[in-house]
A and B are shown apart, each in its own frame.
Chain A
Amino acid sequence: MISSPLSPSGRPVKLACRNLWKIYGLPPQEAADVARTGDPAALQRERDGRKPLAAVAGASFDIHEAEIFVLMGLSGSGKSTLLRCLTRLIEPSGGSVTLDGENLLAVGRGRMTELRRKAMGMVFQNFGLLPHLNVLDNVAFPLRVQGIDRTAREARAREMTELVGLEGREAQFPSQLSGGQQQRVGIARSLAAEPEIWFLDEPFSALDPLIRRQMQDEFIRLQKILRKTIVFVTHDVQEAFRLADRIAIMRDGAIVQIGTPAEIALAPANGYIAEFLRDVPLLRVIRAVDVMRPVTGDGQAMPRFTTEDVLEDILPTLLGGAAAVSICDADGNRVGEISAAEMSGFFGSDRAIPA
């Protein structure tokens, strides 16, 4: 499988996480030891009648610039805890988190505050709006914290409010807004200080399904404009596969598989993940570039598709009688080919590696 030239994996690493642990129920020093050695036995012994819990167990991953990195898992999988460890809202027990090479877990309180003000933005599941401030003041809040004067911060806040489509509502209060509108305010606020990394903790989970879809569309539109480095937490498989550049699937605190949606769809690491995939419209996830046979030459009169076209678009042509299709890159050069015979093989075999 060839990685598409548009994939983020080629870009520099923005946020790197190595062997991150968060253990509840152990004193900090002991927890740090467990984190360093990774000894599972230490977690089995009971203290005070309770077993220690590893909410995050040795997570490691790289997030590249302008990549949408999704942490996905069920409740209790540790994804929200992991997110909070990355921002140090929760202090990790061990491991390292580096932002542009700077180890966040080693910096002092002042530097962390500065980083939070200038480099990070976060969107919360239950919106987290301050009810006593109107929309404009809520959006301007991070700028006020930095000490920016009123005219400058209100101008910037208006820009952001307009960006999320709420112009005209600046003077309204959160209690007068719908859930979707409140989350837009939350999004505007998180972007007000032009953060380098954008954290979103289940931002659309508290909205009803129709609004959720609209917000996902909004999110995709914003990312096309802003090109932020994003860490996105969700429990919704379809949301993850729809939005992500790469997904990290979590279970019981550990990362079970990391990959692009297509990679996971084509080769789930175990039966647990294969179960998740049953709800995912794979034909919309898997692109031509993920399954094509690399080929050069001019391809005669075969129907042409691009590398980014999804199987859903290509399949009707193949089923309609074409023996094979050409896959071309963005410049129009032929780079691969998919044949109908391969496709039937693809659907026939079981893709999951037995658990």
Chain B
Amino acid sequence: MKPGNALSSASALLKMAAMPALMLASLAAAKAVPPIAAFPANWTIPVPAGINAVLGWLVPAIQPVTSLIGKLAGALLSTLIGILQFLPWPVVALAVALIGFKAGGIRLAALVLAAVVYIVLAGFWMQSMATLSLVILAVPLSVSLGFLLGLGAFFLPRLRQGLELAFDFMQTFPAFAYLLPLLLLFGFGPIAGLVTTAIYAIPPMARCTLSGLVEVPRERLEVAEMSGCSTWQRLVWVELPSARPMLALGLNQTTMAALSMVITASIIGGFDDIGWVVLSGLRQADLGKSLLAGLVIVLISVIVDRITAGLFRSPATSGTRIGGLSWPAVLAVAGAALVLGAAARLAAPHLLQGWNETRGIVDFGLINEVLLGFVARYSDVLDAIKNAVLFYLVLPLRVGLAGAVLPITWGFSMTPAVAAAYAALALLFALRQMTKGRPSAAAAILCLAALLYTGLVAFPWPAAVALAVWAAWRAAGLRLALFTGLSLAFVLATGLWVPFVKSLYLVVVAVALCALAGGLLGVLAARSDRFSALLRPVNDALQTMPQFVFLIPALMFFKVGEFAGLIAIALYAVVPAIRYTETGLRNVSPTLLETARQLGCTPLQSTFLVQLPTARPALLLGLNQVIMAAITMLPIAATVGTAELGQQIYVALGKADAGLGVTAGLVFCLLAINLDRILRGVAGRLRSAQ
């Protein structure tokens, strides 16, 4: 063996052995040295207090301006609500149906009419108009600000990385975390909710704008140059039109984001809209009302989604105009209808007021009975599922196999013999990876086995930090490793390590459930066109539903508790798993599939040996999206009783401790951003290896 080879293999061995060695060392030391087992409280920095101090100075400084804005916005909102609630509902139905017809044909118009009838019959008209007003204000605000930010990022490439990080924060920072300061700044009312909605909804538009502008084909830019365009002419006549599909996507996504966020306005209270109905229903265990009100939000979401998607279909690609009507004509007719409606209301005030304010014909009590009966009949099955997941997935992750393996749950206890067998199994798997020439995979297996043994909460923090930093370094290089290290140092310093770790394991379990269920459904959908067509509207509906709505089935079946939170998160995050699996598998080159068939693979072999490995980068991206979805759902799930970061935020809200809320929110963001970047790094490595 040449000296160079010996040296490189020795260093490889060192690299591989360093992590497990460090881990074992800290595990052993944990018993002896308490600070390793649990980060000592007196090492923490009082970050929440610090933030409170800063806010105490900052808020009064800018409050005069912001409260003025808040009052103006509030007046605008009230006017808008007044108008929408004044107009008789048939007229509003007609106007929106016309717009729907223009944007999406007769089917969308029919959906609009059906939705309106449903809302009126359920007695939610007035509240729906309040929600709609908020959406009408929030969306143009988010879209224009997002567009301007995207333009800014495009023209100032140096700012791009910083802006992208800012976008990450805006999308992952839980709204409840910064709600308190906002309430102080903008007043106690829906306007604070409007601002949170805008903050959450700006990044999609900004990102899509940037992406669309950056992706304009080189040749088109040269055409603009050679035609002698000034910067402005090139932007308006070449770049923006070329970016149109992305701009349309951004509009759609921002609108959806705004819709899903709009319920937070209701958390504050004092705003009688659909979100409030959902929340109060949940709080009073009036699940039937929550469900039906949630359905209203879903319908509004789907309709707005379809309308915005149809708005910017390019004339070149769509060919003829739908229905032969032009937009100005449609808007004119809609406007005329509204004016007529207003006139009618003035003429017959009491009758039309009664129409709008009807209590509806739905009996919520009856629905509740039916639902509860359904749950009661299947309570055994539901309990079995709940216990299975708790004992075999959640508990082991939380307190480790050492603590979770008990005779009552697993049927045997963790004797030294069992522990030795477990260690031997782990070593076996690791050795197998070594023989395949993958030393880092072997090291990872050893580390994960140890992690599973002690549980995430009891895992010594030095080892955890080292593991995370090492993973970041392997995934995306030194820069990310540094970022991860600093992030974790911050988490430790704030004293929120334990809630942080609990959030992590909740996310892991939810993601595991999603990956399994979603992956399976995705594989089925990839193999059967009929199943895929069946699944598509379900996916669409699930993706447009605002997050709070997912709490309803979770609470319905599993009562308040950690498991309900888990189910809610899994329901919300399962759609990306299905979608990315299906798309990834379908995008595997047909030539490859033909080759597999020719070589004699059965369909099952083809799926598992050929398609899944080839689709790995897409699957990893899907995993990334699932994790992101799960994380954004966490704070909402906290309202049904989880015990982690989300709960910290909730508690802070209750105590009016803005500093704690912001700190927990920051930790939250760091969790999301780090996981996202690490996974993207892994996906990138895999893709470049292919």
Binding site for B on A (CB under 8 A): 84, 87, 89, 113-118, 120-122, 124-126, 128, 130-134, 141-142, 144-146, 173-175, 199
- The CA of A131 and the CA of B226, in the complex, are separated in Å by 17
Given contacts A128-B220, A132-B316, contact A120 B230 (CB under 8 A): no
Asked if A132 and B314 sit within 8 Å, CB to CB, the answer is yes
- The CA of A65 and the CA of B149, in the complex, are separated in Å by 49
Distance from A174 Cβ to chain B, minimum over Cβ atoms (Å): 8
Binding site for A on B (CB under 8 A): 217, 219-220, 222-223, 225-230, 233, 237-238, 241-242, 244, 314-317
Task: Name the contact of A128 in the complex, choosing from B223, B228, B230, B315 (C-beta under 8 A).
Answer: B223
Asked if A175 and B317 sit within 8 Å, CB to CB, the answer is yes
Q: Collect the chain B residues with CB atoms within 8 Å of residue A134's CB.
A: 316
Asked if A124 and B223 sit within 8 Å, CB to CB, the answer is yes
Q: Collect the chain A residues with CB atoms within 8 Å of residue B316's CB.
A: 131-132, 134, 173-175
- The CA of A142 and the CA of B226, in the complex, are separated in Å by 9
- The CA of A287 and the CA of B162, in the complex, are separated in Å by 66
Asked if B219 and A117 sit within 8 Å, CB to CB, the answer is no
Q: Collect the chain A residues with CB atoms within 8 Å of residue B241's CB.
A: 130, 132-133
Asked if A142 and B219 sit within 8 Å, CB to CB, the answer is no
Q: Collect the chain A residues with CB atoms within 8 Å of residue B227's CB.
A: 116-117, 141-142, 145
Asked if B244 and A120 sit within 8 Å, CB to CB, the answer is no
- The CA of A131 and the CA of B228, in the complex, are separated in Å by 19
A-B contact pairs, 18 of them (CB 8 A): A84-B222, A113-B228, A113-B229, A113-B230, A114-B228, A116-B225, A116-B227, A118-B228, A122-B223, A126-B219, A130-B220, A130-B223, A130-B238, A131-B316, A134-B316, A145-B229, A146-B228, A199-B226
Extra pairs beyond A128-B219, A128-B222, A130-B223 (17, CB < 8 Å): A89-B222, A89-B225, A113-B230, A116-B228, A117-B228, A118-B228, A126-B219, A130-B238, A130-B242, A132-B241, A132-B315, A132-B316, A134-B316, A141-B227, A142-B228, A146-B228, A175-B317
Asked if B219 and A145 sit within 8 Å, CB to CB, the answer is no
Given contacts A132-B316, A173-B316, contact A145 B233 (CB under 8 A): yes
Closest residue of chain B to A190 (Cβ to Cβ) is B226
Closest residue of chain B to A132 (Cβ to Cβ) is B241
- The CA of A145 and the CA of B223, in the complex, are separated in Å by 12
Closest residue of chain B to A141 (Cβ to Cβ) is B227
Distance from B135 Cβ to chain A, minimum over Cβ atoms (Å): 29
Distance from B115 Cβ to chain A, minimum over Cβ atoms (Å): 33
Distance from A231 Cβ to chain B, minimum over Cβ atoms (Å): 13
- The CA of A125 and the CA of B222, in the complex, are separated in Å by 11
Give 7 closest A-B pairs by Cβ, nearest first.
A117-B228, A116-B228, A128-B223, A173-B316, A122-B226, A142-B227, A132-B241
- The CA of A126 and the CA of B220, in the complex, are separated in Å by 9
Q: Collect the chain B residues with CB atoms within 8 Å of residue A125's CB.
A: 219
Asked if A87 and B238 sit within 8 Å, CB to CB, the answer is no
- The CA of A120 and the CA of B225, in the complex, are separated in Å by 11
- The CA of A89 and the CA of B219, in the complex, are separated in Å by 11
Closest residue of chain A to B226 (Cβ to Cβ) is A122
- The CA of A130 and the CA of B237, in the complex, are separated in Å by 9
Distance from B312 Cβ to chain A, minimum over Cβ atoms (Å): 11
Q: Collect the chain B residues with CB atoms within 8 Å of residue A130's CB.
A: 220, 223, 237-238, 241-242
Closest residue of chain B to A175 (Cβ to Cβ) is B316
Asked if B226 and A120 sit within 8 Å, CB to CB, the answer is yes
Distance from B216 Cβ to chain A, minimum over Cβ atoms (Å): 11
Distance from B453 Cβ to chain A, minimum over Cβ atoms (Å): 44
Closest residue of chain B to A174 (Cβ to Cβ) is B316
- The CA of A117 and the CA of B150, in the complex, are separated in Å by 30
- The CA of A218 and the CA of B330, in the complex, are separated in Å by 47
Task: Name the contact of B244 in the complex, choosing from A87, A132, A146 (C-beta under 8 A).
Answer: A132
- The CA of A142 and the CA of B223, in the complex, are separated in Å by 9
Asked if B314 and A116 sit within 8 Å, CB to CB, the answer is no
- The CA of A144 and the CA of B225, in the complex, are separated in Å by 14
Q: Collect the chain A residues with CB atoms within 8 Å of residue B238's CB.
A: 130
